[in-house]
């Protein structure tokens, strides 16, 4: 085995042992636990080289070594296999998610399943409106001077607004405008909707112009992407069980409360074709320096619309976590596509 390949094997062994024991790893432990095929002196030399390269460090004098962020990164980048789900895990995810009745239920079940599977904090992003398509626009008459506008997307997301009318409107006009809106907007990406709405006055009968003008502002409010989207969290109680990994839990909890932080991390993986892992300082947030975030996108008909992920200690079982994040994302996408 070449020296560089052997050093990577030593790094892999250190990471795996540290994940398992949460104790600094010494050369004797590596000899005892792993068949590296070299002498303890050679392993000590390899560890010294890894430390010089910034991949491991010695937390205390006369202690073993632990991985650095760079060490974890090299380990993850060279991870050749993720730990596949067991048949029981696959059945559990399927049974748990397939009972969902709507989008909210799907995502709430997904975040609970992912938290249970990984024993970490799970995060699920609602489908981003700008990445969705219009499935249906409904106008519901609440009274002669009040309508409810309901937008249903292809991902099952539902947005509704009340529209106050300056004067009574005939039900026949509401019916006709509903048909016109759906004829022009159904199956169109929400990112194109504002331009379509701007062209609608030329497409409607004169008797509908006033009603359309009243609806336009509210319609655009529904169709245009809000400044922030929604995320769901599950499994935050697992943080309290990881006090050895998080000596100070408060910064992590404060970061979790800032949805903009989570949305930024998830948005970066929505379009990813594989699972994305951010380790320690790669999260670019001071409160998350002791954490790693594993995430990937889910989609509908091949189009990415949102992301799911897990936040846990840097000392996490990456192969296990990556496989389960990918599996839940796949199930969520399949369920939404089938609705």
CATH number of the domain enclosing 24: 1.10.10.10
Distances (CA, A) of 339 to 105, 130, 187: 13, 19, 14
Nearest in space to 55 (alpha carbons), one of 2, 10, 1: 10
Shared-domain flag, residues 92 and 151: no
308 within 8 A of 293, measured Cβ to Cβ: no
**Residue 295 forms beta bridges with which residues?**
276, 309
Q: What was the pLDDT predicted at 71?
A: 94
Task: Please give the residue that has the higher pLDDT: either 280 or 191.
Answer: 280
Q: Can you tell me which residue has the tokens 């636990």?
A: 33
Does residue 188 share a domain with residue 58? Answer: no
Nearest Cα to Cα of residue 129 among 2, 227, 32: 227
Q: What is the pLDDT of residues 212-259, one digit of tens each?
A: 888 888 888 887 755 446 889 998 888 877 766 777 788 888 888 888
Residue at 251 is within a domain: yes
- pLDDT recorded at residue 226: 56
Residue 165 resides in a domain: yes
- Is 274 found in the same domain as 298? yes
pLDDT digits (tens, 9 = 90+) for 67-80: 999 999 999 998 86
What is the spatial distance between Cα 114 and Cα 120, in angstroms, rounded to a whole number? 8
Render pLDDT for 197-206 as a digit per residue (tens, 0 to 9).
888 888 888 8
User: Is 212 part of a structural domain of the chain?
Assistant: yes
When pLDDT is averaged across residues 190-212 and rounded to a whole number, the result is: 87
CA distance 248 to 252: 8
What six digits make up the tokens of 131? Answer: 């990445």
| Residue ending a domain, choose from 77, 95, 117 | 77
Using CB atoms within 10 A of its CB, is residue 169 exposed (0-12), middle (13-18) or buried (19+)? buried
- Domain region containing 200: 130-223
pLDDT at residue 223, rounded to an integer: 78
Q: What is the C-alpha separation between 289 and 307, in angstroms, rounded?
A: 21
> Do 178 and 45 sit in the same domain of this protein?
no
Domain co-membership, 57 together with 124: no
Tell me whether residue 299 is in a domain: yes
pTM of the model: 0.80
Strand, coil or helix: 324: helix
Pair 171, 305 in one domain: no
Q: Dihedral angle at the C-alpha atoms of 192, 195, 201, 202, nearest 10 degrees? A: -90
Question: Domain tally for the chain?
Answer: 3
Strands (E), the chain: 56-57, 66-67, 121-125, 134-143, 146-153, 158-164, 231-234, 276-279, 291-300, 303-313
Judge whether residue 118 has pLDDT over 90. yes
CATH number at residue 96: 3.30.450.40
Domain shared by 211 and 136, yes or no: yes
Domain boundary among the residues 202, 223, 244 is at 223
Q: Say if residue 138 is in the same domain as residue 203.
A: yes
Q: Is residue 82 part of a domain?
A: no
244 and 330, same domain (yes or no): yes
Examine the domain organization and report whether 100 and 193 are in the same domain: no
250 and 118 within one domain = yes
Q: pLDDT of 296-305, one tens digit each? A: 999 887 788 8
What gap in Å lies between CA 204 and CA 215, rounded to an integer?
Answer: 13
What is the C-alpha separation between 151 and 187, in angstroms, rounded?
A: 12
> Across residues 325-334, what is the average pLDDT?
91
* 215 plus 261 within the same structural domain: no
Distance of CA 110 to the CA centre of its chain: 11
Of 42, 57, 77, the residue that ends a domain is 77
């Amino acid at each position: 085995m070449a020296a560089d390949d052997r050093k990577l094997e030593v790094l892999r062994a250190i990471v795996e042992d540290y994940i398992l024991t949460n104790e600094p790893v010494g050369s004797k432990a590596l000899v005892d636990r792993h068949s590296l095929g070299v002498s303890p002196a050679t392993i000590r030399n390899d560890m010294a080289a890894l430390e010089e390269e910034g991949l491991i460090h010695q937390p205390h004098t006369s202690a073993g070594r632990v991985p650095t962020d760079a060490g974890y990164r090299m380990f993850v980048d060279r991870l050749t296999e993720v730990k596949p789900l067991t048949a029981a895990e696959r059945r559990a995810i399927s049974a748990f998610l397939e009972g969902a009745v709507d989008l909210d239920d799907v995502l709430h079940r997904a975040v609970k399943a992912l938290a249970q599977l990984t024993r970490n904090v799970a995060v699920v992003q609602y489908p981003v409106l700008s990445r969705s398509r219009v499935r249906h626009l409904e106008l519901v008459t609440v009274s002669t001077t009040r309508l409810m506008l309901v937008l249903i997307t292809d991902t099952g997301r539902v947005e509704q607004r009340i529209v106050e009318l300056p004067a009574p409107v005939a039900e026949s006009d509401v019916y006709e405008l509903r048909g016109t809106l759906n004829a022009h907007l159904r199956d169109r990406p929400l990112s194109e909707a504002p331009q379509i709405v701007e062209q609608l006055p030329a497409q409607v009968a004169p008797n509908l112009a006033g009603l359309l003008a009243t609806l336009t502002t509210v319609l655009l409010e529904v169709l245009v992407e809000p400044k922030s989207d929604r995320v769901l969290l599950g499994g935050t109680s697992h943080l309290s069980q990881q006090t050895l990994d998080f000596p100070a839990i408060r910064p992590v909890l404060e970061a979790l409360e800032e949805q903009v932080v989570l949305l930024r991390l998830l948005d970066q993986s929505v379009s990813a074709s594989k699972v994305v892992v951010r380790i320690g300082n790669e999260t670019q947030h001071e409160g998350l320096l002791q954490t790693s975030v594993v995430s990937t996108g889910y989609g509908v008909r091949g189009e990415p619309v949102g992301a799911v992920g897990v936040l846990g200690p840097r000392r996490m079982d990456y192969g296990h976590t990556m496989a389960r994040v990918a599996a839940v994302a796949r199930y969520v996408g399949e369920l939404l596509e089938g609705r």
